[in-house]
Structure 1
């Protein structure tokens, strides 16, 4: 029996700790099959709609390659191809797509949009990122931690930077569900909302995870097995860049901050893209005005052996493959693991 079949993955709380752990382990298994060139076409003959309100490199690539590897046919529909409530309601669009496609991925702004797609389409829907949550990223992130450390048990992950964005929300809640200690280092006005913190605290009460949210970056990174950061301004966010950079510069991942974990084996994660040098037009403009050579992470750390960011990025595909396989395909899953 497939425990997941027909379910959507819209936010981290959709699945239990046992289910999230299974998705991570199955992703590692599928990665091994791919490396050995062993076919795994669990979705042969299926058609997948990829809906993108926001532009994407990793998410679009990961869903496309994952679908192809699984024997499915992905169809990309960008913001100019679909109405997303402008000329046709999300509910009507969902019903139309659900009548043609076997599964739907959505990457965009409102969590309500992806929830409505799931409610009205009648097929599994996967959240490729909204303003609130980034669940497919989480399976890749915790997969990367498990590959590196061999186990997730007892780990402490510290996120530094903008603590209210979708990645911070998702890390906080996923870590709490899995029993991993999660620290958030961020200025007071950029800390997780009370509602997100409540979800995490409720999950942590069951799992035993320790949660720390603090302005004190030194306290946040102490004893961290992994440091994680993200861009300081999210896609589509209208903010004062100068103020944000000044606010978050103390939370930059650099050699000094890495040393403050007190652990030699600390690794560094970033969901990308990263402003670690001046090789991007946006990065170059921001850095020049502040006389900096990096923003949220310095180039020496980003390029170092401590950094697992490109392993993490490649794992997006295996993680997404795991999620699509179990919710839309029928791989054998032992019931005993739940």
Structure 2
């Protein structure tokens, strides 16, 4: 079965760690691995505007020896006339992987169900798993380990970033706290999935409304924009609702003395975070942004290798089965002849 990366818990703890290990190796030797040599092409599809995702995937695919095929749904049949499943069936005959930055998670799931090449969620309304791989890589670089670290996400708990932190952080064995207004809590099913994964890894998940309670003693403090793409018409109402959830020096003072600050960017300075924090000595956002490149390269290489292993095993099993059938048939013919 083809391995895809549609949400953070598509990976086990061991698989997540293996990809982060590979990312560290690729960061240390940026052009040392060429699994896409040929060059093989990777389709990178955008429904939404992008800076970090577009640049990191384009550069990363090139670093891996491949050719990035950048597609805008506004200028393709996927933008209206063609279903994700039909597009997937066409693309799998020409590319080695499909990366899609989109809105609904259902479209990604439909595409993945109808193709033999790996599909990667480069962002959806529900999850942002590639960003979380970069965030985990950055935390590991600065904190040494992931398991046992406490991370506090402050702001929109229903956002793709908050929900991905619940799943990816729990997978890594972290203690994930989300502080959000009650009406912007994470989806109950995502919290439940995070709790199940945390029970396996020794981590934990907690959803509260008090940002101070979430940040108290935390090793990592994270926030994201209060007004995500597609929510612009809700801006004033959201600003009013999230009043009190801004990450500033006063809130950071409740975190551990050596706590770090993270933001996936772009940031609305003065809204979800103050300039003093985002530009301050605790901020590691630029390392976080760079690590999109290394984490995504490692993810693509890992998926290609995992699917090649599965394909080889399937072929080997089929060969063994055919040989067994042939042997049985020969024996039966010999018995009948005798």
Band of TM-score, shorter chain: 0.7 to 0.9
Between the aligned partners of 2:23 and 2:308, the Cα distance in structure 1 is: 14
Count, aligned residues: 308
Which residue of structure 2 aligns with residue 160 of structure 1? 154
1:264 aligns with 2:222: no
| Alignment counterpart, residue 108 of structure 1, candidates 102, 106, 110 | 102
Q: How far is 1:160 from its partner?
A: 0.1
Deviation at 1:207, TM superposition (A): 1.6
Shift in Å at residue 211 of structure 1?
Answer: 1.8
Between 1 and 2, higher relative CO (CA 8 Å, sep ≥ 6) is seen in: 1
* Matching residue of 2:316: none
The 1:195–1:134 alpha-carbon spacing in structure 2 relative to 1, beyond 3 Å, is same
Choose which of 80, 84, 93 in structure 2 pairs with 1:86. Answer: 80
Which of residues 51, 68, 71 is equivalent to 2:65?
A: 71
- Give 1 or 2: higher helix fraction: 2
Corresponding residue number in structure 2 for 1:321:
297
Q: Residue 51 of structure 2 aligns with which residue?
A: 57
Normalised by the length of structure 1, the TM-score is: 0.88
Q: Where do 5+ consecutive residues of structure 2 fail to align?
A: 310-338
Aligned pair in 2 of structure 1 residues 64, 140: CA closer, same or farther (>3 Å)? same
CA distance in 1, matches of 2:114, 2:100: 14
Match of 1:43 among 25, 36, 53: 36
Q: Which residue of 2 aligns with 1:29?
A: 25
Pairing 1:193–2:187 present: yes
- Higher Cα radius of gyration: 2
Report the Cα offset of residue 239 of structure 1. 4.6
Residue of structure 2 in register with 1:285 after alignment: none
Inter-partner Cα distance in structure 1 for 2:80 and 2:7: 25
Which 5+ residue runs of structure 1 have no aligned equivalent? 277-293, 334-338
Q: How does 1:172-191 map to 2 (within 5 A)?
A: 172-191=166-185
How far the C-alpha of 1:86 sits from its partner, in A, is 1.7
| Match of residue 266 from structure 2 | 273
1:75-115 Cα shifts (integer Å, max 9, x gaps): 10012222326211211111111111111100000111111
Alpha-carbon offset, residue 150 of structure 1 = 1.1
The match for 2:285 is 309
Given that 2:222 and 2:261 are in contact with CA atoms closer than 8 Å, whether structure 1 keeps it comes out as yes
1:124–1:327: 8 Å Cα contact kept in structure 2?
yes
Deviation at residue 331 of structure 1 after TM alignment: 12
SS in 1 for 2:43: strand
Does the CA-based 8 Å contact 1:42-1:331 persist in structure 2? no
Q: Return the alpha-carbon distance in structure 2 between the equivalents of residues 330 and 107 of structure 1.
A: 23
What is the distance in 2 between the residues matched to 1:114 and 1:160? 27
Kept in 2, the 8 Å contact 1:6–1:328? The answer is no
Match of 1:12 in 2: 8
Q: Could you tell me how far 1:244 is from its partner in structure 2?
A: 1.1
Root-mean-square deviation (CA), in Å?
A: 1.8
Does the 8 Å CA contact 2:179/2:211 hold for their aligned counterparts?
A: yes
Q: What is the rounded CA distance, in whole Å, between the counterparts of 1:206 and 1:331 in structure 2?
A: 25
Counterpart pick for 2:134 among 126, 140, 143: 140
State the SS of the aligned residue for 1:154.
Answer: coil
Identify the match of residue 207 of structure 1 among 201, 209, 218: 201
| TM-score for the superposition, normalised by structure 2 | 0.88
